Amino acid sequence: MTRERPPLLVTGLAVIAVAFFVLPIAGLVYRAPWATALDELTRPEALTALRLSLVVSLAATGLSVLFGLPLAWIYARVPFPGRDAVRALTTLPMILPPIVGGVALLFAFGRTGLVGQFLDAGLGLRIAFTTAGAILAAAFVATPFLVLTGEAGLRSMARRYEEAARTLGATRWHVFRRVTLPLIAPALFAGAVLSWARGLGEFGATITFAGNLPGTTQTLPLAVLIALETRPEVAVMLSLLLLAVSLVILIALRDRYLRFS
């Protein structure tokens, strides 16, 4: 039996959709200064931004695992009134315009903010417009990815393995380390990678809350914006670098997110 041909209109629109995604990438590749690629990428301002981006995104991932995993566990295992509402609140940053997140962070942790004023007055601690602020901004937008993926992992694992471990004499903590964690490791890894990718690409919340200070808060995406005005070749190369990272992540997680059939 021959397969029926798909409607021409649908095919046409789908082709346009693909082109819409592929053309910008082609544009980047076309404009890339391949001859001087390495020089552009190893310019001091690029290297500084690259280093800072790694520090900020990895620290944000660390924070998202440290606080996000317990949160995911609570969501998955502890029914409490208002759980859905709380979950909605902590998921909000995923869809919130990042700049809104940045403004909100500013009014919470800025020098005159809800919490920030006490941190400033009491402990002399300033978060806004520091590397810590950039990390916080990235963690703010990235943690929901880890929480959602982690909760899904915890919910889909057979809790009976944990029960079996308890009957073998393992305390709850021992069970978590030796049974739960290994069994949800793939989900946790996926969540951490997604969260890292989100933190790496963070722009709006960072520039609003942490500013754009080279060496302190100027991460890769921010450096791309600046370079676009001064040295477009650097912007192109940094963009390609971020693109390459995203592709690697997508390929690494393909079994999880790209297979629907």
Positions touching other proteins (CB under 8 A) are 158, 160-161, 163-171, 174, 178-179, 182-183
Contact between residue 135 and residue 60 where contact means Cβ atoms under 8 Å apart:
yes
Closer residue to other proteins, CB minimum distance, 163 or 255: 163
Closer residue to other proteins, CB minimum distance, 166 or 231: 166
Question: Distance (Å, rounded) from C-alpha 34 to C-alpha 50?
Answer: 19
Closer residue to other proteins, CB minimum distance, 51 or 174: 174
CB of 130 vs other proteins, minimal distance in Å? 41
CB of 157 vs other proteins, minimal distance in Å? 10
Q: What is the DSSP string of 115-152?
A: THHHIIIII----TTSHHHHHHHHHHHHHHHHHHHHHH
CB of 169 vs other proteins, minimal distance in Å? 5
Structure tokens at 222: 């921010």
Closest by CA position to 239, among listed 32, 15, 90:
32
Closer residue to other proteins, CB minimum distance, 155 or 166: 166
CB of 111 vs other proteins, minimal distance in Å? 48
Closer residue to other proteins, CB minimum distance, 67 or 161: 161
SS3 state of residue 76: helix
Closer residue to other proteins, CB minimum distance, 157 or 242: 157
CB of 254 vs other proteins, minimal distance in Å? 22
CB of 210 vs other proteins, minimal distance in Å? 40
Distances (CA, A) of 27 to 30, 79, 134, 155, 249: 5, 50, 30, 43, 22
Closer residue to other proteins, CB minimum distance, 12 or 182: 182
- In degrees, rounded to 5, the angle at the alpha carbon of residue 218 between the alpha carbons of residues 216 and 221 is 155
CB of 188 vs other proteins, minimal distance in Å? 13
